[in-house]
A and B are shown apart, each in its own frame.
Chain A
Amino acid sequence: MATRAIAIENVKTGEVTEAVYEHPFVVRLCHWVNAVSLFVMAGSGLQIFRAFPSFGAKIPQKDLLNWPKAFALGGWLGGALQWHLTFMWIYIGTGLLYIGYQIFSGNYKQVLFVRRDLPGVWPMVRHYFLFGPKPPAREAYNPLQKHAYTSAIGLGLLSVLTGLAIWKPVQFSWLAWIMGGFHWARLWHFLIMWAMLAFVFGHLVMVVLHGWNNFVSMFTGWKKDPEYRSE
């Protein structure tokens, strides 16, 4: 797809570099709001989990893990629920704004993983994890990146649906039913959080590896010296 590109002439040296506009304003806004929301939702969610750190019966209760309070948000169950039930609206709102924008602007083509991207996944995996040669970059995101981002958006949707199933098991009883019942919905909600946190971890590693210009682009939208040539 056509990306807005610009040639920048250095006023002192006359040297010309290129920059491309990768991240539209709405995407950047949603990205940073969502970064805060995810932090709050995971932190308060873990505090809520501390109230009953199990997925079986209450009697006898078999604790799955004793999550440290230092890595949880809200102080106690009631406080954590206040955070969770407040930020879930911000989280959902950001998600709807993002998805709506991506669809109406057509920008989704930059992110959405489609069948055409499939052959490019393995070469990227080989490059990142097995020291394989670096496949040439053709667009803003490589196939593995698209796969990761598309999956993360899918996880976001699932986190909301599983959350609704355990928050409203009567009004949305059909949602819990689809997920295999109330107990499974709670377990899915928990596992989806870990999957999301795994994505965030990988994402942060990649941000560090890809350097300053890439990092700055999520603030200004513009990426200097892109690896690919714009059309």
Chain B
Amino acid sequence: MYSRTDSRKFKTISRRELLKLTPVIALGAFAIPQLQKPLLKGGLGFSDWASARLFRSGHLAPTFAESELTPLDKFPINDYDIDDPQVDFDKWTLTVTGAVQKPGDYTLAQIQALPKCTQNTRHVCIEGWDVIGRFGGARLSDFLKIIGADPTARFVTVECADDYYESLDMATAVHPQSLLCYEMYGQSLTREHGAPLRLSVPTKIGYKQAKYLTDLKVSHVLEKAGYWEDQGYSEFYGL
């Protein structure tokens, strides 16, 4: 195609083509302080929504051979506050509340009476590192059965001896690899790793694996997503 025009008309054509690009300026909204926060919150929310869609209940996280385990002494101890919140093991119970038929205090012996599940799974930290650990405990889904959790409930939230708190969506909570973990590497949990009871959820990011559990609540609405979520991390963060 070959056509002729004059320089004035060409300027008009060029300007029209340039103006078509104005939608790109919309990205500048991210530079406006009042809009930046809600926009990024929306983006993170969309990622969470997509993550929940990508989650498959029947899909198992990869498991590893004994030879691939990270030695226990090289398993990092991460917490937001203190390594050891001085839990009194003799008095410890897990207090269950919310949409359950049998609320109340559950002992470690009651949890250990449930079928034990041991798995070598990857623990992925949001910072970028990961370790492969050996985790033993009761399936969270089994525990939810004995407490009579409402099957239509949507969330399981936990509170911890160090005031940390976390949440799981129900689909993840009842995943066969989600554990109420009381053992690592075949030994009782050490205080630094969350004794006497922690979460081990290999389909979730590290900060979801709450330690030193004291309370567990089944709920229909998410009241508190989690300590780090309240600082701006993703609410769902499924792997």
Contacts and interface: CB of A to CB of B under 8 A. Distances in A.
A7 B43 contact: no
Contact of A57 (B14, B42, B59, B70): B70
Interface string B155-175: 000000000000000000000
Contact of A222 (B13, B46, B56, B127): B13
A10 B7 contact: yes
Given A2-B1, A9-B5, A57-B74, A220 B131 contact: no
Contacts of B1: 2, 4-5
Interface string A192-231: 0000000000000000000000001001111000000010
A19 interface: yes
Contacts of A9: 4-7
A11 B47 contact: no
B69 to A, nearest CB: 13
A113 interface: no
A40 B238 CA distance: 23
Given A81-B234, A87-B43, A171-B56, A8 B10 contact: yes
Interface string B1-44: 11111111010011101101101100100100000000111111
Interface string B188-224: 0000000000000011000000000000000000000
Contacts of B129: 52, 54, 57-58, 61
A11 B234 contact: no
B5 A52 contact: no
A67 interface: no
A49 interface: yes
B125 interface: yes
Question: Secondary structure at chain B's binding surface: helix, strand, loop or mixed?
Answer: mixed
Contacts of B5: 6-9
A32 B55 CA distance: 33
B4 to A, nearest CB: 5
Interface stretch (B102-110, B138-146, B225-233): B225-233
Contacts of B14: 216, 220, 222
Of the candidates A32, A58, A88, A89, the one having the most CB atoms from chain B within 10 angstroms of its own CB is A58
Interface in A78-92: 78-79, 81-83, 85-90
Given A57-B70, A89-B43, A170 B125 contact: no
A186 B21 contact: no
Contacts of B61: 170, 173
Interface in B49-94: 51, 54-56, 59, 61-62, 70, 73-76
A98 interface: no
A25 B13 CA distance: 13
Contacts of B27: 33, 36, 90
B59 A171 contact: yes
A171 B239 contact: yes
B6 A11 contact: yes
Given A2-B1, A32-B21, A220-B14, A169 B124 contact: yes
Interface in B111-157: 122, 124-131
B40 A83 contact: yes
B125 to A, nearest CB: 7
Given A49-B128, A219-B21, 9 more contacts: A11-B6, A25-B17, A59-B73, A82-B41, A85-B43, A169-B124, A171-B59, A182-B130, A216-B14
